[in-house]
Amino acid sequence: MSALAVAFAAMLLISPASLGQSAPVAMDHAILEAPISATGASRINPKYRYLFAPTARWAGTLHWKYNHANAPASLAGDKAAIVRQLQASFDKWTAQCGVAYAYDGETTVPPNNVINDPVGGPRPDGASVVGWGLLDPGLGAWTQDWWSQSGADRFIFDADMTLSVTNVNTLDLLDRLATHEWGHAIGLDHSNVEAAIMAGPPLTHYNNLALPQPDDVRGCRCQYGLPSGTSAAYACSVPAQIEFGTVATGASSAAQSITLTNSGNAPLSILAVGVNDAQFAQFAGCAQGTSITPGASCTLQIRAAPASAGAIAAQLTIQTNDGEYGVALNATGARIAALPAAEPSTADVIEYYNKTLDHYFITWTPSEIAKLDAGETPTRWTRTGLAFKAYATSQAGTSNVCRLYIPPANGDSHFFGRSSAECSATESTHSDFVVEDPSYMQLDMPTAGVCAAGTQPLYRLFDNRADVNHRYVTDRTVRDQMTAAGWLAEGDGPDLVVLCAPL
C-alpha cells in the first residue's frame, strides 16, 4: 500500500443555531451553504456524499476494539452496556448494506494513536479503536479515517472514534452519536440532505436522528452493496448535476445524457420523471413505466432551451420504487447577435477507447469531452489520438447523423446513423435503442462511395460481436488493420465509405 491519507469528521452536540465546523477545534461561528442559492441560480442535488474523492472503502471486515479508560462516571460502571450499544449502533448499518465489522475486545491503546516513524514520518498504527477523550466543548464525538492506495483501488484500513468524556453521558446519546460516527468510519461524509442521519456542516445541520435514512442507506449500498438475504433496487450512477453551459436564447442545447444503472438485485421501476422548469426538457429515455432489471440501465436525454438571457436552474426529479432521485440542471441563456455570413464552422469529433469494455466512442460535445478526459466515468476512457471534423448544424447538402444508445443487453455502446432513413430503420428494428440525439452532427453522403472535393472518406467498422460496438475513422490504414482483426467495414462503393467528413 502507498500514499497514506487521512480524513476527519466530528459530531456536534450543540443546537443548529450554534454550529461549529468539522475541525479539531470548533469555530465560534459558522458560514453554511444553503440548499438553494440566494439568487435561485442553482440548487444542490440531494445526495449522500463520501469522505474521499475518489471514494475509499473497507476491503473486508472492519475490526475494532474498545478502550474504557476515561469513560464518564455516568457510564463507567457498565462497560458491557457501552460495548453492546456501540455494536447495536453499527448493526443499523450492517442491516442495510454489505459492510461488516468484528469486535475484537478491549485494548489499552488510545484512539487516534500515531506512530512516529523516523523514516516515513507519522503514520497510523492500523488499529481501529473506540475510546474516550477530551474534545472541544461543542463536540460529542470525533472520527478519524486513514486510507491507502493499492493499485487502482483505495481502501480504508484504520478508523478511530473518540467520544467526549464531558458531553456523552447516556446510552441514548451514545447511540445517536455512534451511529453517525460509524457512518464516517465506513467512508460517508456529511450529506446535504437535512433528513439524513449523516446530515451536518457545511451543507446541512446536525439532527437527533438515530436510524439511517433512505439517503444514508443508498450511500452505504453504493459503497458496499446489499447485505445477504436482502432484495432491493437502487442506482448509484445518477450525477449530482448537469451543466449545459451557455446556450443561445430561442435555441436548444446539445443533448445531455443521464444513465440510471440498477445496482441492486430487484427491478428498479420508473414511476415518473419531471422537470420543474419548461426551459429544460426530457425528450427521450426512461419513460414512465420503465422497469430496469438488475445490472441493466436506461438513459434519459435532456435539453436546455433558454427563453431569456441569464442563468437558469431547474431540478430533474426521477420517482422510482427506491424513492426519489434528483439532478440539478444549470444553463446560461445568451442573446447571440446576428453575424455576417461566414464559412460554416466545424467541430472536432474526438475518438476514445475503453480498455475494460474493448469499445470505441466518438463525441464532439465539450461537456462529454471534459468528463471523459477527467476520468469522471465508471470505467476509464482514453483518447486514441484520432479525430475528424463534422458540422454541428445542418449545412446545404449535408446528411443528418443521429446518435443512438445501445443498452447493456446488446453492448452498452453507441451507434451513429448516417442519414434520417438509416436512423428510422434502426429505431424500427431495435425498439430498445435509445435516441440520444436525432440530429447529433452533420456530414456529407458519398456518391457511389466517392467523396466530393473538400471532404475525406469516413469509414465505419462493426466489431461483429455480441457486445455491439462501431468504430469511425478516416485513416484507411487503421480501417484495414481493424478488418484484418475481424471487424467488418460498412459503406458504399469499392472502398466501403459510409460518410464524408470536411477537411
pLDDT of residue 11: 59
DSSP state of 182: H
Q: What is the pLDDT of residues 328-364, one digit of tens each?
A: 999 999 987 655 555 668 899 999 999 999 999 999 9
CATH superfamily of 2-224: Collagenase (Catalytic Domain) (3.40.390.10)
Cis-peptide into 202, omega within 30 deg: yes
Q: What is the CA radius of gyration of the chain?
A: 27
Q: What is the pLDDT of residues 402-449, one digit of tens each?
A: 999 998 888 889 999 999 889 988 888 888 888 888 899 999 999 999
| C-alpha cell read off for 297 | 440501465
Higher pLDDT, 346 or 212: 212
What class is the 231-340 domain? mainly beta
Whole-angstrom distance, CA of residue 205 vs CA of residue 85: 24
Q: What is the pLDDT of residues 17-37, one digit of tens each?
A: 222 333 333 322 222 222 322
Q: Where are the domains of the chain?
A: 2-224, 231-340, 343-503
Low-confidence winner among 29-38, 367-376, 426-435, 471-480 (lowest mean pLDDT):
29-38
- Is pLDDT at 3 greater than 50 in this prediction? no
Low-confidence winner among 28-37, 147-156, 390-399 (lowest mean pLDDT):
28-37
Number of Cβ within 10 Å of residue 172's Cβ equals 11
Q: Are 371 and 402 in contact (CB under 8 A)?
A: no
| C-alpha cell read off for 311 | 442563468
- Is pLDDT at 481 greater than 60 in this prediction? yes
Chain Cα centroid distance, residue 3? 24
Whole-angstrom distance, CA of residue 445 vs CA of residue 475: 17
pLDDT band at 165 (very low <50, low <70, confident <90, very high): very high
- Is pLDDT at 149 greater than 90 in this prediction? no
Chain Cα centroid distance, residue 371? 11
Mean pLDDT of 167-190: 95
pLDDT of residue 418: 94
pLDDT band at 395 (very low <50, low <70, confident <90, very high): confident
Sort 339 into a burial class: Cβ within 10 Å, 0-12 / 13-18 / 19+: exposed
Mean pLDDT of the chain: 86
Higher pLDDT, 3 or 134: 134
Q: Determine phi and psi for 276, rounding to 5 degrees.
A: -90, 15
- Is pLDDT at 59 greater than 60 in this prediction? yes
What is the pTM assigned to this prediction? 0.63
Which amino acid type is present at position 281? Answer: A
pLDDT of residue 431: 84
pLDDT of residue 344: 67
Mean pLDDT of 448-463: 94
pLDDT above 90 coverage of the chain, percent? 61
Q: What is the pLDDT of residues 269-326, one digit of tens each?
A: 999 999 999 999 877 889 899 999 999 999 888 999 999 999 999 999 999 999 989 8
- Is pLDDT at 255 greater than 70 in this prediction? yes
Whole-angstrom distance, CA of residue 450 vs CA of residue 446: 5
- Is pLDDT at 73 greater than 70 in this prediction? yes
Higher pLDDT, 448 or 119: 448
Q: How many residues does the chain have?
A: 503
User: Is 231-340 the same fold as 2-224?
Assistant: no
Whole-angstrom distance, CA of residue 353 vs CA of residue 380: 8
pLDDT of residue 468: 92
Residue whose C-alpha cell reads 475513422 in the numeric block: 473
pLDDT band at 213 (very low <50, low <70, confident <90, very high): very high
